[in-house]
Chains A and B, each alone.
Chain A
């Protein structure tokens, strides 16, 4: 049986956290990167045609390949920066202190390494390729880790759609941010109106107005007003007050931050507990616990009847006992 692939992995090989917890930790890492202004890259790695491989060659082969992928990523990344987890057969990796430019070198090595991976089945040997989506915190619109993850997911989708064996950065950070901030939907009246002109020829609109109003001057005036209205609407949409749904979102964001903080505290306490337990174990080993020295006797002995003065000693023992019993009675 192959070794089970851990849902999370680290250099120690220990699976300490659930996927959710790893995501929380990645969020913390993202915030730390923002706080200390260092680059951080996020990779989502998918093995091309992994679903088909599982279907045709079985889950065991899939597990083996995923295991090999984990080993490949471990081999190509630094000891201190790897934190990853398996998400639906895809490997999520965060590389702190790595710029987008630097990560491309590593990605090329990863792709090359994956091409060397082979699996044999039914007398045939097949190569493995990867589709990798990348994202990073250097983009001005990359405001949290969720954005990085979504951008990386899109990268994987684009890479897969393009035939695989490549890495893609879509750079669609802003799109996701606007969605998150509650941009007016296409049904919004101002936006609908403006959208009517999006990509249309103003001349065609002028012709339409002329056919309605008859006068070029009036049609031009109406068009000018529409253009101004459109511009104003665009400006207003940028400055639009936050709708109630966005307030909920901000609350959610606050809760998420609190949860992140709690996770961080848990992580610290866990670490502290681990250190304390280690210290206790060390002290326990240092302290020579004295088990004592066993007595010669397993049972109460009493006088030896063979003793030449057994009778005399028996009387003496009895006298000592009586004196002590008397003392016990007197002392209550």
Chain B
């Protein structure tokens, strides 16, 4: 943001809560706008593609659909910015910056308003990652802060004490223990068994059951988002997958159930760790306040499956599913932005 821009910003303050995710990036804004896009950023491969697409950069579903003409990026992998052996991946950083710019644009800020943003980052993001995300965000807003994603989900629901948050994203599953203070490293666990993990498991299951079936990662992702379930009694999941070029119907019910169920044990084990290291007096209370959030929480029957596994391994527990899995993180980040005192924003400009 330039000094000139700031001088003209006398109309008001727009707060943004941004959930910068591996699969989706969402924003909730204090002007009532809520938007979400797939975290894809694509750059035309060559001048011909640029001329054809008539754009220098494409985002979200459009980028995914036209990926054959693009250098496609998912700037965050496993919940963090991609790094190469020499340090940060400049392409990913650029893609992250463009993605943040785009999500800010989608929030439709007025030119004469100050824009203050809180960005939710994975619980155990490294310093390097946080710095890179800050760099990406500073390009587009006047002042920015980072906070842990599971914390922002809990803050948004005003559940600040004795709560276990499970935030299931595409790249990571963040577990966070809330006990009335800022969660520390010991209060947080990040697992890599998120949505992408389920995709990989589903691919393994399908290739085992139907070796001749052809599919791509994107196809499996779309199938998972539509049919994912851990429930036993469900309608058969029938999908068309090409076999030697011919669309053929396959029953992938068991494949889907098996793939989705594989994410339950690591989550419950993580919860067990957080519970076991908590004050024994409050462990039962913590077990009975497990909050399930994030895009992955939309898997049918997941709350019941986690609850059942907790019963089996931890002797009990109660899981509550958030009402808005897509915007839980961004809503919480927006609430943090709203409650942040002015002097803090000023100091971080």
Enumerate chain A interface residues (CB-CB to B < 8 A).
Answer: 290-304, 309, 312-313, 315-321, 323-325, 327-328, 330-331
Contacts and interface: CB of A to CB of B under 8 A. Distances in A.
B347 interface: yes
B306 interface: no
Contacts of A300: 13, 114, 116, 341-342, 345
Among the interface residues A295, A297, A320, A327, which one has the most CB atoms of the partner chain B within 10 A? A295
A130 B51 CA distance: 64
29 contacts: A290-B108, A292-B31, A292-B110, A293-B33, A293-B110, A294-B12, A294-B110, A295-B12, A295-B109, A295-B110, A296-B32, A297-B13, A297-B14, A299-B13, A300-B341, A301-B338, A303-B339, A304-B339, A312-B160, A315-B181, A316-B155, A317-B341, A317-B344, A320-B145, A324-B348, A325-B347, A327-B130, A327-B146, A328-B134
Interface in B100-128: 108-111, 113-114, 116, 127
Contacts of B14: 295, 297
B225 interface: no
Interface of B: 11-15, 29-33, 108-111, 113-114, 116, 127, 130-131, 134-135, 145-147, 155, 158, 160, 180-182, 336, 338-342, 344-345, 347-348
Given A296-B30, A297-B12, A297-B14, 4 more contacts: A298-B12, A301-B13, A321-B340, A325-B347
B130 A297 contact: no
Contacts of A294: 11-12, 31, 110, 113
B15 A327 contact: no
Given A292-B111, A294-B11, A330-B127, A317 B29 contact: no
Identify whether the interface residues of B are mostly helix, strand, loop, or mixed: mixed
Nearest to A304: B339
A302 B131 contact: no
A302 B134 contact: no
A324 B113 CA distance: 23
B340 A302 contact: yes
A318 B345 CA distance: 11
Contact of A324 (B29, B111, B146): B146
Contacts of A298: 11-13
Most chain B CB atoms below 10 A, which of A297, A309, A328: A297
A293 B28 CA distance: 13
A79 to B, nearest CB: 41
Contacts of A331: 131, 134-135
B339 A313 contact: yes
A305 to B, nearest CB: 11
A309 B160 CA distance: 10
Contacts of B29: 293, 295
Contact of A293 (B13, B31, B147, B155): B31
